[in-house]
Structure 1
C-alpha cells in the first residue's frame, strides 16, 4: 500500500498523557486531524500523580510548538525549583534557591498539565473509556485497532503514547519492562502549612532528597498545600507480601518502615509516620537498553512506550519532545512513512543515549551524595 499524506491519513494516538496530548495539539494546530483513545472513563476519573519539572530544552520547547508556553508559565510554580539535599541526621548539606526569573525547570502538577493540554484540543478529540486490546493489519497499513469493548477502527498511523505497559509496543517489539531493584512507596500529605508545619519548613517550597546508601526519601511539594514523599528502598518487587503484609495494611507497613529507618532523625521520620491516608506501591521499571524496533510506516512509539527509564527527570520531558518532533515531521513530510522515518532517525539515537546514561540510575537515588557536589538533580517520580 502507498503511504498516505499526513493530511489525508487516519491518525490514532493511544494514550492521553502529556506526550499523546502534545502530539495531538500540534497536529491540530497545523490542520491535521487526529483522534486520541484513552482507557480512563473520563478526564477526572483518577489522580494524575505528583509534580513535574519541565525543562527549557525539551518539555518547554514542546509547549512552545504547541502554542501553550505562556499558559504554562501562568500555572507553573517557579518556587518549586528550590531543592535541598539533607542527610539522615536532618542537616541540610546542599540547597539550591532559584534566581529571580529562573525558568530552567519550573514545576507543575501532572493534573494541571493534562488539563492545559486537554482544553487546547478540539471537542471530541479524546475518546474516553477506550482500552486498546490489539493492533493488527499489515506493516504498511492500514491497521486495525481493536478495543476491549468489542469495537474496532481503522488507522493509517498508530502512535503508541500508552506508557510503560504499552499495548501498541507489542505490535512492534517483544520488549517488556523489567524491575530495576528499587521500589518507591508513595505517601501523601495535605494542608502542609497547618497540619505539617515542621515538614513544610524542612522541605521548603520545592523538593528535598535524603539517602544513606541503602534507603532514601524524596519529598516533593505540589500545588494547593499538598506534598508527596517517595520512600525509596532496595527490595524485591513483591516486598510487601514478602514481609507478611498487605498493601492496604497502612499501620503494618508504617511500623516496618519506621524500624528500617530507625537511625534517621525524628524530624525525617515524620515523612513516614505522619502521612494522610494509605501508601501507594510504585516499583521502578525500565525497558531494556537500547530499545529499538524494525521500522513500520504505520506504527510508532513515543515517551515511556518507547524508552521507559528510571525517574531521574527525563521521562515527561522526553515524551513531550518526542511528541513535538513526531507531529512536526508529519506536518513537514509528504507521506506518513517519510514522517515516521524522519522522527525515528532522531528519536531512537537520542533516547538510546539518554537511556544508557541513566541505566542503573535507580540505584543512584539511594547513594550517599558527594559532599563536594554543588549542583544536584534528584528524582522526579
Structure 2
C-alpha cells in the first residue's frame, strides 16, 4: 500500500500545464475553423478548450485570501461553461438539434453548487461533488451524441472517441467517489493519489479529445471533397462517377429481392438550344430539368446526370411503376414553359427508355437495355416513353409501352 500511495505528482504544475496545453489546442482548432467555411463547428470546440483551460489556469498562482472565493467561482463556472461549448460543437458537427434545456440544466449544477455550498451552507466537499455530478452528466450526454455519427466515413472515429469518454467517466467516478467516501475501505487511498491519477487521466483525455476533434474536421472536409467529385457542379445531381459509386453501395446494402427499374432520359434537340440561344440558356434548361426530376422522383431514388443532356433514375420498383413515373415526367416537361431573364421562352420535351432488371441480369447489361429503349424512343420521333421487352419479365409486361405516341408537332424551341 505504501508503494502505491507514493505515486503522486505536482498537481499545481500539472494543472498549469493542462491549462496551457488546452488553450494551445483551442487556438489550433480556432485557426482551423477560421480557414475553412465548412469547419465552423471547430470554433465551438476551440472555445470549450479555452474555457476549460481557464478553469485550470486560475489555480497554480498564489493569491491573497480575499481572492479565493472569486477563484472558486471562476473555476466552477468555466468548467460548466466548457461543457456547454463542447456539447454544442458535437451537436452541430453531428447535425443534431441543439437542446437548450439540457444546456441550462448543465449550467445549473455549478450555479446551484456555488449558491448552496459556497455561500448559504459552506461545505467544500458538497460543492465539489455537486459540480462533478454535472460533469458526469455532460460526459454521458457527449457519449450519447457520439453514438450518432453524421456520416459513415467518420463512424469509426466516433466509436473510438466513445471509448475514450467511457474510460474517462469511470476514472471520474472513481476519483470523486473517494471524496464522497463511498468506496470500499480497501480502495480509499490517499487524496493525493486520486488527484494524481485523475490529473494525468484528464490530461490524456483532453489530448485525445483535441486530436479527435482535429481528425474529425479533416475527415469531414475529405468526405465533402469526395462528395464534390461525385456531384455534378451544374445540377447538383450525381455525376457518372457518383452514380456508379452510389449504385455499388446500394447493391451491397440491399438485402431484399425487390424489383429494380432503370429510367434513361434524354432532353430532345438539346443541341439546338445551345446553338440558337447559347450555353447559358442550355445550362438553365439543365438546371430546371434537374429540379423537376428531383421533384417527381426524389423519394430515395438514385438520380444522376450521366453527361450532357442524359439522365438516369434507378428505382426499387417494377416496370409499371417506372413507366408511370416516366410518363409523369414526360407530361410535366411537355406542359412546362421556362422563361429566361432575357424574356426567352423555352419549351423542351424528353425521350425516355425504361428497363426492369432481370433476375440474372448484370447492371451493366441492364443499363445497355435501358439505353436501347431510349434510342428506340428517339428513333420513333422523340417525346415518348418506351419500355424494353425482356424475356424474364412477366408476360403482361413484356411488350408494355407507356404513351409512345408521337406528338403532331414538336415544341417551337425544342
Q: TM-score range by the shorter chain?
A: under 0.3
More strand by share: 1
Higher RCO (CA 8 Å, separation ≥ 6 residues)? 1
TM-score w.r.t. length of structure 1: 0.22
Q: Of the two, which has the highest radius of gyration? A: 2
